[in-house]
Amino acid sequence: MNAVGIDVSKGKSTVTIRRPGNVVVMPPCDIPHTQSAINNLIAQIKDLDGETKACMEHTGRYYEPVASWLSDAGIFVSAVNPILIREFGDDSLHTPKTDKADSKKIARYALDRWQNLRQYGRMDKIRSQLKTMNRQFAFFMDQKTAMKNNLISLLDQTYPGANDFFDSPARPDGSQKWVDFVHTYWHVDCVRGKSLEAFTEHYRNWCRRRGYNFSAQKAEDVYRKSSDLIAVFPKDGSTKMLVWQAVALLNAASETVELLRLEMDRTAAMLPEYPVVMAMNGVGPTLGPQLMAEIGDVTRFTHREALTAFAGVDPGKNDSGKHIQKSVRTSKKGSPYLRRTLFLIVDGLIQRSPENDPVYAFMDKKRAQGKPYYVYMTAGANKFLRIYYGRVREYLASLSESGEN
């Protein structure tokens, strides 16, 4: 038994090879992520006598190239949740945190968990791309929110409340009516500086050019509200530049978000489980691809509890002797991206109250029992994942039996 412990970081990996009985075959050494260095490591591993397994933590995206290189070379590779490595006992109070110490600990973990190590199953190109898209989607959504708040804070100085004039949904390109409105009417004096008739006609032409519906009543309401507002910044070139710049940044972020949303849905449609996932209540063209991106290949989970633990929505337990705690917080040790997606799904179910939906019925029952919000929401997320696991596994099994790809 040869356990190869690999602590992966950017640009290099620290590798230790150990055998049972505290035998060190190769002390910790740094292997740069170059073709020649990795090939030398692969050759050295293949020259070992006996069965060999390599183990590493799946942290960030650094581990994926190393796991792929070794796996493609025919070496058994297992990517382990870093929490399991961190909580693995060293039988010592001295716990240094260095790359060398980590690689030795990973090798000891591999020897101790030898029979339970699972072969690394590299996500195919589509799943990997989808997951990267989802992370970019989350990043640009944060940027969009920041840009939106920045624009509103500027409008508080030039045109207070203008962001609440319209509630039209965003267009496919991400543009919104209130944002387009404040680009043209960037200061309150741009509206109240005209007569009601002049503004109504100007607004009518603006709606026609922009492709928005015109309402004379809406024009009158906007004019009436604008007439009583107080602007802090003057109507000059500097103020116009600030507002226009904020609008441009928000529109750019919104356009990127919508492009990613469409591309994620197109990419997810290539996955075999797409139709059964999209048929689930609460899942749409936005949350469906996010769900598939973060869960990945559901067949890598041996049972439902493994998936709920991965998401961090598994119920906790705290029993000792005669003490049995009835309510324990969930672990929250899994993927925060998956938890966020799940909560958006179950929150949508709570708002829509769909009939004959088992997840909503379960949450509604918990809510009727007086359970706190986060308790029944987490319970709903747990039940949704269990249903997801069963339906997708069954669907993929049926495809496999019929010989479809």
Predicted confidence pLDDT, tens digits, the chain (405 residues): 888 888 888 888 898 999 888 888 888 888 888 889 999 989 988 888 889 998 888 776 778 788 888 888 888 888 887 877 877 765 555 566 687 888 888 888 888 888 888 887 655 578 888 988 999 999 999 999 999 999 999 999 999 999 999 988 889 889 999 999 999 999 999 999 999 999 999 999 999 999 999 999 999 999 999 999 999 999 999 999 999 999 999 999 999 999 999 999 999 999 999 999 999 999 989 999 999 999 988 887 888 888 888 888 876 554 445 544 455 555 566 678 899 999 999 999 999 998 889 999 999 999 999 988 888 899 999 999 999 999 999 999 888 777 654
Beta bridge partners of 12: 9, 32
E strand segments, 270-367: 319-320, 323-324
Closest residue by Cα to residue 72 from 129, 121, 5, 133: 121
Q: Is the domain of 381 the same as that of 351?
A: yes
Identify whether residues 252 and 217 lie together within a single domain.
yes
Residue 320: per-residue pLDDT = 47
Same domain, 263 and 282: no
Q: What is the pLDDT of residue 128?
A: 80
Q: Long-range contacts: 96-99, Cβ < 8 Å, 24+?
A: 99/7, 99/9, 99/14, 99/28, 99/30
Domain that holds residue 153: 127-267
Do 323 and 196 belong together in one domain? no
CATH number for 104: 3.30.420
Residues 191 and 234 in one domain: yes
Single out the residue in 267, 301, 332 at which a domain terminates: 267
Whether 56 and 138 share a structural domain: no
136/257 same-domain check:
yes
Are 148 and 191 in a shared domain? yes
Final residue in a domain of this structure, among 94, 122, 150: 122
Residues 193 and 309 grouped into a single domain: no
> Which of 70, 91, 122 represents a domain boundary (last residue)?
122
User: For 211, left (φ over 0), alpha (ψ -120 to 50), or beta?
Assistant: left
Q: Say whether both 106 and 143 belong to one domain.
A: no
Distance CA(103)–CA(106), nearest Å, equals: 5
Helix, strand, coil shares of the chain, percent, nearest 5, are: 60, 10, 30
CA 77 to chain centre: 26
Count of domains in the chain?
3
Same domain, 115 and 134: no
Q: Do 186 and 170 belong to one domain? A: yes
Residue 219, SS3 per DSSP: helix
Distance CA 260, CA 72 (A): 31
